[in-house]
Amino acid sequence: MKEQIMMLDLIANNDWKRAIYYSSPANQEVAMAILQTGHLRQNGMAWELSPVRTRELINDERMYHHLMEVYTFGDMKNPDVLTDNYARDQTGQMRSQFMQLAQFYVEKADEEASRKANLAPQIDPIRKSGNVRLADSLQQTMVGVDERVALYNQRAINLVKRSLEVMPLENVIDYGEPVASKNTIKSPEGDEYAVYQDGVMHTYVGILFRAGDKAAAEKLGMQVADQLESIINFFTNSDPVVAADNIGDIAAATSNYIILFKFANDPQIGNPSGQLAMRTSKKLNELYGTTYKNMCDELKAEALDNGESLRRGPEMGYYASRYLELKGMLDAIGIEGRLIDAPAGQAPLQQGNLPQLPEGLPAEETTMVLADSNAPR
């Protein structure tokens, strides 16, 4: 394509007195190739092209400085400032930059903590075996680990809070424009469905949990649950045809809600006895216990009442097609989230089991049994 030839020509003739910048390497073959070979680094709202290869795709010090101290974000914290769907093209990208760097830091913190956990128990046995030099070397690698873990986690927390400060959740909408990704999930019948992605706020909640700020995670998580439930409740209180015709919206909201549930209930980083864990557990029991089944059954009844076949094919009727699409998608999401059992031999994309339901839920709210809820985590 002409634009790719232009990019190659620009790179070939650059004298490297200054860098070349990209707003994003996505959906561009040349830029993606440069990214994959280690010549692009993100330093904020732009990606910098360099002839020097790097292992890190993020220039974290520079990017942190830009996001926290340099960039200005208008006056979006003012509720009178309009942030419509056109502005959201930019706010979505801005929130993603905060998210990517915050994730980078919590992963760095996890790496440091894991390295200490693996190496520290070996030092004394190695020293006692007589290999003092190796023991001293390992001891030296432990210096400053706790401080770095604390620094990385605090930076992740700072980034999330800064993002919420300049783009408050209540003013700048995060959800409502789902996009189908390249990943797919399978229904019990083996039909494949696209994984829909929408928003980043549920990921922000997970970052706060991982970084150790459970109070902030709980507070934000309850706000995010409000927004996701408002989407889900709109469809569950409407004609099921509306949900089937807007499959991306209900699919993304359900998937994101399951992510909230998983973070809140995680026994290591979450808060299984907290309000968010109890709330999301109760809601998912309701959705996959009765609500979604009733929605699908209503569409199925309409199809049968109209003499439609429930088999897939070119002659499939109006209600039958919507029934199969909605049921297949919701079942696939349930399998992927380990809310319902997968057929034998079908493994979800996401590995690991959902935590058990928190103790103390009323009996009438625990009618749905999570698949593999008692399996080792």
Q: Measure the CA–CA gap between 232 and 66, rounded to whole angstroms.
A: 36
Tens place of pLDDT per residue across the chain (377 aa): 898 899 899 989 988 888 888 887 777 788 888 888 888 889 988 899 988 888 888 999 999 999 999 999 889 999 998 888 788 888 988 999 999 999 999 999 999 998 888 888 888 888 888 888 888 888 877 788 899 999 999 999 999 999 999 999 999 989 988 999 889 999 988 899 999 999 999 999 999 999 999 999 999 999 999 999 999 999 999 999 999 999 999 999 999 999 999 999 999 999 999 999 999 999 999 999 999 999 999 999 999 999 998 888 777 899 999 999 999 999 999 999 988 887 766 655 543 333 333 333 333 332 233 333 333 32
Q: Measure the CA–CA gap between 216 and 108, rounded to whole angstroms.
A: 21
233 and 304 part of one domain: yes
Out of 107, 138, 166, a domain closes at 166
248 and 298 part of one domain: yes
**Closest by Cα among 74, 118, 80 to 94:** 74
All residues at 6 or more sequence positions from 143 whose CB lies less than 8 Å from its CB, including other chains: none
Please tell me the predicted confidence (pLDDT) of residue 196: 94
Domain assignment present for residue 110? The answer is yes
Assigned token pair, 156: 């992740």
Query: For residues 305 and 356, is the Cβ–Cβ distance under 8 A?
Result: no
Domain assignment present for residue 371? The answer is no
Domain assignment present for residue 106? The answer is yes
Please tell me the predicted confidence (pLDDT) of residue 348: 54
Q: Measure the CA–CA gap between 330 and 65, rounded to whole angstroms.
A: 42
Buried b vs exposed e over 137-167: b needs ≥16 C-beta within 10 Å?
ebeeeeeebeebbeebbebbbbbbbbbbebb
Out of 135, 166, 197, a domain closes at 166
Q: Going edge to edge, which strands form the sheet with 20-22?
A: 20-22, 47-49, 40-42
| pTM for the model | 0.85
Q: Measure the CA–CA gap between 191 and 321, rounded to whole angstroms.
A: 13
Domain assignment present for residue 219? The answer is yes
Please tell me the predicted confidence (pLDDT) of residue 291: 96
53 and 92 part of one domain: no
Domain assignment present for residue 11? The answer is yes
The DSSP code sequence of 174-217 is --S--EEEEEEEE-TT--EEEEEE--SHHHHHHHHHHHT-HHHH
Domain assignment present for residue 322? The answer is yes
What is the total count of domains within the chain? 3
Q: Measure the CA–CA gap between 79 and 149, rounded to whole angstroms.
A: 36
Please tell me the predicted confidence (pLDDT) of residue 358: 34
Please tell me the predicted confidence (pLDDT) of residue 361: 32
Domain assignment present for residue 80? The answer is no
187 and 126 part of one domain: no
Q: Measure the CA–CA gap between 19 and 21, rounded to whole angstroms.
A: 6
* Domain region containing 204: 179-365
346 and 221 part of one domain: yes
Domain assignment present for residue 131? The answer is yes
149 and 284 part of one domain: no
Q: What is the 3-state secondary structure (H, E, C) of 15-28?
A: CCCCCEEECCCCCC
Please tell me the predicted confidence (pLDDT) of residue 347: 56
Out of 106, 141, 166, a domain closes at 166
